[in-house]
A and B are shown apart, each in its own frame.
Chain A
Amino acid sequence: MSRDHSSTLRSRVLWAAVVLVAVSAVLYAMFVSVDYRWNWAGVWKYRTQFALGWLTTLGLSVAAMLVSVLLGFLLMLGARSRLEPVKLLSSGMIEIVRGSPLLVQLLIGYYIIAEALHVRYPMVAGVALLGCFHAAYLAEIFRGAVESIGASQLEAARAVGFNRSQTYRYVIIPQALRRALPGTTGQLVSLLKDSSLLSVIGIEELVQKVKVMNAASYAPLEGYLPLAVAYLILTLPLARLARKLEGRFAYET
């Protein structure tokens, strides 16, 4: 058993090394073939700005994630509501937000809606707009998961005497949670990457910082490599966490 385990681990590490070396070699060959002259010294000066941008991206993404999960859940409930106006408003918002570009929503949202509501901080508006955008997608992911709970489960919930809210709380949500997890993680990773668009409303998040840094140091590409790594540092653990959670909720149906 343990020998099996260690031998699979060893082969996995070995293969990972082989793949890593091969991919790096290909990439290196490509960079060499275009004869790009690296200027790392230029960008190194801006490392504090880079770190600041990374923290901004992290902070606003986490805040927008919270907004999107909460609002997405409410939108899903709204779209399933028996009250016609609530249902119309929720499903209308889901469709319009999902069907139009985030860039347009950010510009209209910031320069018209936030202005009209006297929201003075771009960060607040940015978090709200990004959260709303992804909430619409999450609402659909949640709806799919909730609707996948079979009629026999709903009947069992009625049979044991649960009312509507007890049915959601004890029967639907625990089972839907697991089914919604993979889609939700993917959506949150997208949210993280979409946060770069917030530069259009004047938020100096990571991508904006890197653009400034590249321009100032006359280094058109250098900043983008650490940029990619900085995003991966956030997105990879998120994917891992989701796997772990899926394992924890795993049971056969």
Chain B
Amino acid sequence: MKLEAHALTKRYGAHAALDGTAFETGAEARVIALLGPSGGGKSTLLRVLGCLLVPEEGSVSLDGRTLPNDEEGALAERRGNGFVFQGYNLFPHLTALQNITLPLGEVHGMSATQAEQRALELLHRLGLEGHEHKRPSQLSGGQQQRAAIARALAPKPKLLLLDEPTSALDPVMTGEVLDVIRELAEAGQSIVLATHEISFARQVADWVVFLAAGKVQESSSASDFFTKPKTELAHQYLEGLSKYR
């Protein structure tokens, strides 16, 4: 896929999380990593790219098609995407299985048996056999995040967007979740991933968008970015993150 953004601005009160930012990716980008310091606008950009947020100014296009700027169009667009968040954001009053089947039935019009079949298939694939009927509070963080990934994947999204999916997890659970994301990437899923896991991004991403202070500083192929970053900021960021790993 090819993502292009022009003059994107998104404000929260007086703070501009995205400040007239622009970038484009290569035509064949499949796993795009959004990197950069905290507070730099990664999460906001990810939400704008997935139509979860509508920018105040600017536009995004995906493979030459401009994404809608109105709430109704954005809803239709979102329904074709899958989202995974840092804090899992499962529905606490529903079981893992229901978290997946409810949107399948209500949003994507699947029959109850179809939805359940699809949900079980995904839960088992992501190693949650035996946990189908547990509520989120009865699952570990890693299990919750895998259930959240299953929920995002269930309607076969064109684009899977993950916002720092391992930031709330310990190293073991982080490994479990990264394994899952890697398998998805290898299976050909289109992914946009905001992360601090620099060595993971190096392994799976084929394109990197580097943001700081609400602006894209650099957008280049992963091999270029990791071997010879163009900006001093990116250079410092990579140095700082690889110091202890």
Q: Once the chains are docked, how many angstroms separate the CA of A249 from the CA of B91?
A: 14
Q: Is A24 positioned at the interface, with any CB of B under 8 Å from its CB?
A: no
The answer to whether B78 touches A252 (Cβ under 8 A) is: no
The answer to whether B137 touches A253 (Cβ under 8 A) is: yes
Q: Is A218 positioned at the interface, with any CB of B under 8 Å from its CB?
A: no
Chain A contacts with B in 136-172, Cβ cutoff 8 A: 152-153, 155-156, 158-163, 166, 170-171
Q: Once the chains are docked, how many angstroms separate the CA of A166 from the CA of B92?
A: 16
Q: Is B146 positioned at the interface, with any CB of A under 8 Å from its CB?
A: no
The answer to whether A160 touches B92 (Cβ under 8 A) is: no
Q: Is A184 positioned at the interface, with any CB of B under 8 Å from its CB?
A: no
Q: Once the chains are docked, how many angstroms separate the CA of A77 from the CA of B103?
A: 24
Q: Which residues of B contact A163 (CB under 8 A)?
A: 75
Q: Is A226 positioned at the interface, with any CB of B under 8 Å from its CB?
A: no
Chain B contacts with A in 131-169, Cβ cutoff 8 A: 135, 137, 151-152, 155
Contact for A170 among B50, B89, B106, B155, CB less than 8 A = B106
Interface readout for B178-205 with A: 1 if CB under 8 Å, 0 if not?
0000000000000000000000000000
Q: Once the chains are docked, how many angstroms separate the CA of A174 from the CA of B75?
A: 22
Q: How large is the interface on B (under 10, 10 to 19, 20 to 34, 35 or more residues)?
A: 20 to 34
Contact for B89 among A155, A162, A166, A174, CB less than 8 A = A155
Chain A contacts with B in 77-132, Cβ cutoff 8 A: none
Q: Which residues of B contact A38 (CB under 8 A)?
A: none
Q: Is B233 positioned at the interface, with any CB of A under 8 Å from its CB?
A: no
Indicate whether A161 sits within 8 Å of B107 (C-beta atoms), given known contacts A152-B87, A170-B102, A251-B137: yes
Indicate whether A161 sits within 8 Å of B78 (C-beta atoms), given known contacts A251-B135, A252-B137: yes
CB distance from B69 to the nearest CB of A (A): 16
Q: Which residues of A contact B91 (CB under 8 A)?
A: 153, 156, 170-171, 175
Q: Once the chains are docked, how many angstroms separate the CA of A171 from the CA of B135?
A: 14
Q: Is B83 positioned at the interface, with any CB of A under 8 Å from its CB?
A: yes
CB distance from A108 to the nearest CB of B (A): 42
Indicate whether A156 sits within 8 Å of B52 (C-beta atoms), given known contacts A161-B103, A175-B92, A251-B135: no
Q: Once the chains are docked, how many angstroms separate the CA of A163 from the CA of B102?
A: 13
Contact for B93 among A152, A155, A156, A251, CB less than 8 A = A251
Q: Once the chains are docked, how many angstroms separate the CA of A178 from the CA of B87?
A: 22
Q: Is B90 positioned at the interface, with any CB of A under 8 Å from its CB?
A: yes
Q: Which residues of A contact B87 (CB under 8 A)?
A: 152
Q: Once the chains are docked, how many angstroms separate the CA of A160 from the CA of B155?
A: 9
Interface readout for B41-52 with A: 1 if CB under 8 Å, 0 if not?
000000000101
Indicate whether A251 sits within 8 Å of B92 (C-beta atoms), given known contacts A152-B87, A159-B83, A170-B102: yes
CB distance from A150 to the nearest CB of B (A): 9
Closest residue on chain B to residue A159 by CB atoms = B83
Q: Which residues of B contact A156 (CB under 8 A)?
A: 83, 85, 89-91
Chain B contacts with A in 82-120, Cβ cutoff 8 A: 83, 85, 87, 89-93, 102-103, 106-108
Contact for A162 among B107, B137, B152, B155, CB less than 8 A = B107
Closest residue on chain A to residue B79 by CB atoms = A161
Q: Which residues of A contact B50 (CB under 8 A)?
A: 159
Q: Once the chains are docked, how many angstroms separate the CA of A152 from the CA of B137?
A: 16
Q: Once the chains are docked, how many angstroms separate the CA of A58 from the CA of B93?
A: 34
Q: Which residues of B contact A174 (CB under 8 A)?
A: 93
Closest residue on chain B to residue A151 by CB atoms = B89
Q: Once the chains are docked, how many angstroms separate the CA of A162 from the CA of B85?
A: 17
Q: Once the chains are docked, how many angstroms separate the CA of A208 from the CA of B19?
A: 70
Q: Which residues of B contact A152 (CB under 8 A)?
A: 85, 87, 89
Q: Once the chains are docked, how many angstroms separate the CA of A218 from the CA of B151?
A: 73
Q: Which residues of B contact A249 (CB under 8 A)?
A: 93
Contact for A160 among B93, B103, B137, CB less than 8 A = B103
CB distance from B76 to the nearest CB of A (A): 9
Indicate whether A155 sits within 8 Å of B52 (C-beta atoms), given known contacts A162-B107, A171-B91: yes
Closest residue on chain A to residue B106 by CB atoms = A166
Closest residue on chain A to residue B76 by CB atoms = A161
The 7 closest A-B pairs by CB, nearest first: A252-B137, A156-B89, A159-B83, A161-B79, A160-B103, A161-B107, A253-B92
List the interface of chain A (C-beta within 8 A of B). Answer: 152-153, 155-156, 158-163, 166, 170-171, 174-175, 178, 249, 251-253
Sample 28 A-B pairs with CB under 8 A, ordered by A number: A152-B85, A152-B89, A153-B91, A155-B85, A156-B89, A156-B91, A158-B52, A158-B78, A159-B50, A159-B52, A159-B89, A160-B83, A160-B151, A161-B75, A161-B78, A161-B107, A166-B106, A170-B91, A170-B102, A171-B91, A174-B93, A175-B91, A175-B92, A175-B93, A249-B93, A251-B93, A251-B137, A252-B92
